[in-house]
Structure 1
């Protein structure tokens, strides 16, 4: 992965959630001209499958993801679209 920001996001999520599968897409180019693009923060889409999501509601799953990258939010990450699944849901 050549983008250091994508690598950093992946590293954080893998360390915190031990995913069975993870896909991270940089959608920043689709948001060019958007106010968030001006701040330098990127727009990302994450699909993550982790045992840690089992038995948790969507809001808790998203919180677990956001907690993993909290210090990157509003600086390196402007927007994060999350699909968080337990292995039994795949």
Structure 2
């Protein structure tokens, strides 16, 4: 089980084509603080092929059909549905 499974579950239950979550909301969902790299590097929010990556955070959204787009200045992430 991944630390980011609760985020995956939240995205699975999302209505509509996009959901915006603040860093604080994501931390509330996962029950732990985001790593400093999530706050410092856009790459942490990369949308990697879930069959090839070992990054569990990316798998959390890509395996359920979402891509992440981060705005680190606003501390917000928009998860948008994509066609698989």
* TM-score, normalisation: structure 2: 0.31
Q: By percentage of residues, which structure has more strand? A: 1
Q: By percentage of residues, which structure has more helix? A: 1
- Structure of higher CA gyration radius: 1
* TM-score, normalisation: structure 1: 0.29
